[in-house]
Amino acid sequence: MAVRIEPSILSADFTAFAADIARIPSADLVHCDVMDNHFVPNLTFGLPMVQRLARVSALPLDVHLMIDDPDRWAAGYAEAGAETVTFHAEASPSPVATARAIRAAGARAGLALKPATAAEPYLPLLDEFDQVLVMTVEPGFGGQSFLEPMLDKVRRVRAAIGDRDVRLQVDGGIGAETIAAAAQAGADAFVAGSAVFGEDDPDAAVQRLRALAEG
Ligand code: DX5
Ligand code: ZN
């Protein structure tokens, strides 16, 4: 299983995203946390920022929508050039319809599960998705501690994915102490904010995390 290291610019310098993205050439893509202060109690940036980042980033973009009403916005992020657009299961009245709109607009579709959200109701829908994001902290803020009990959810989602071409992404508290356990449980895409941009040499951090995930 190819390991993907996906730094989150939530922990980068908000006045210098382009420069910070240029500091992580070893990363597989850039994870962009879009928060609306409604779905989560924090506010980051929206579509105009992602449209601009798509033009200046040498790496593909992975957009994590932590917003109400993803149907209003998701296709726009795909049209902006995001490789993957992930929305939260609870935020959409019809996750299948939202996923189809994302794919029709040219991006891969991702389904995010908050820590308290069971995976099982969504497992029959896996053919509609290219990625499942198992949140390993409560969404909203960087720098929180990894929620160990989420490893069991990762295992169950991995078993359900089987031989489908669906990535299993983990996000929250991923760092040198936690990434190997997440990889062993079946994750193959690792979002890391503070463990990358909180380091003096973020690219060295990406390489270290990759080595630990590859075991
Ligand atoms: C949290 C965001 C994460 C955040 C992770 O809601 O979805 O992407 O950047 O930050 P760390 O890696 O510091 O836990
Ligand atoms: Zn995220």
* Domain with 51 in it: 4-214
145 Cβ partners below 8 Å, 6+ apart? 137, 173
Q: Which helix (H) or strand (E) holds 29?
A: none
What separation in Å is there between the alpha carbon of 24 and the centre of ligand 1? 17
d(CA 14, CA 172): 19
- Model pLDDT, residue 100: 98
Tokens of 194: 């503070």
Which ligand 1 atom sits nearest the alpha carbon of residue 194?
13
Q: Is 46 annotated as a binding residue?
A: no
Q: CA 175, CA 193: separation in Å to the nearest integer? A: 9
Provide the residue-wise pLDDT of the chain in tens; the chain has 215 residues. Answer: 799 999 999 999 999 999 999 999 999 999 999 999 999 999 999 999 999 999 999 999 999 999 999 999 999 999 999 999 999 999 999 999 999 999 999 999 999 999 999 999 999 999 999 999 999 999 999 999 999 999 999 999 999 999 999 999 999 999 999 999 999 999 999 999 999 999 999 999 999 999 999 99
Q: Is 106 annotated as ligand-binding?
A: no
From 38, 39, 37, 12, select the one nearest 23 (Cα to Cα). 12
CA of 89 to the centre of ligand 2 (A): 14
**Residues near 116 by beta carbon (within 8 Å), at least 6 away in sequence:** none
Is any ligand 1 atom within 6 A of the Cβ of residue 41?
A: no
Q: How far, in whole angstroms, is CA 52 from its chain's centroid? A: 19
**What is the count of structural domains for the chain?**
1
Report ipTM for this prediction. 0.99
Q: What CATH number is given to the structural domain containing 103?
A: 3.20.20.70
- Main-chain dihedrals φ then ψ at residue 33, nearest 5 degrees: -90, 110
Ligand 1 atom with minimal separation from the 10 CA: 9
The model's pTM: 0.98
- Cβ neighbours, 10 Å, residue 112: 23
Alpha-carbon distance 92 to 68, whole Å?
8
Pocket flag, ligand 1, residue 70 (CB < 6 Å):
no
User: How many whole angstroms from 61 Cα to the centroid of ligand 2?
Assistant: 12
The per-residue pLDDT for 143 is: 98
The separation between CA 72 and the C-alpha centre of its own chain, rounded to angstroms, equals: 20
Which of 87, 191, 199, 209 best tests ligand 1's pocket when mutated (most atoms within 8 Å of CB)? 191
Is the beta carbon of 8 within 6 A of some atom in ligand 1? Answer: yes
**The predicted structure's pLDDT at residue 37:** 98
| Alpha carbon 215 to its chain's center | 21
pLDDT at residue 1, as a whole number: 76
β-partners of residue 8 are 31
Active site residues: 33, 171
Q: For the range 129-132, what are the long-range contacts, defined as Cβ-Cβ under 8 Å and sequence gap of 24 or more? A: 129/99, 129/166, 130/84, 130/103, 130/165, 130/166, 130/167, 131/84, 131/86, 131/166, 131/167, 131/168, 131/169, 131/189, 132/157, 132/161, 132/166, 132/167, 132/168, 132/169
Do 189 and 2 contact (CB within 8 A), yes or no? no
Look up residue 66 and give its two tokens: 């932590």
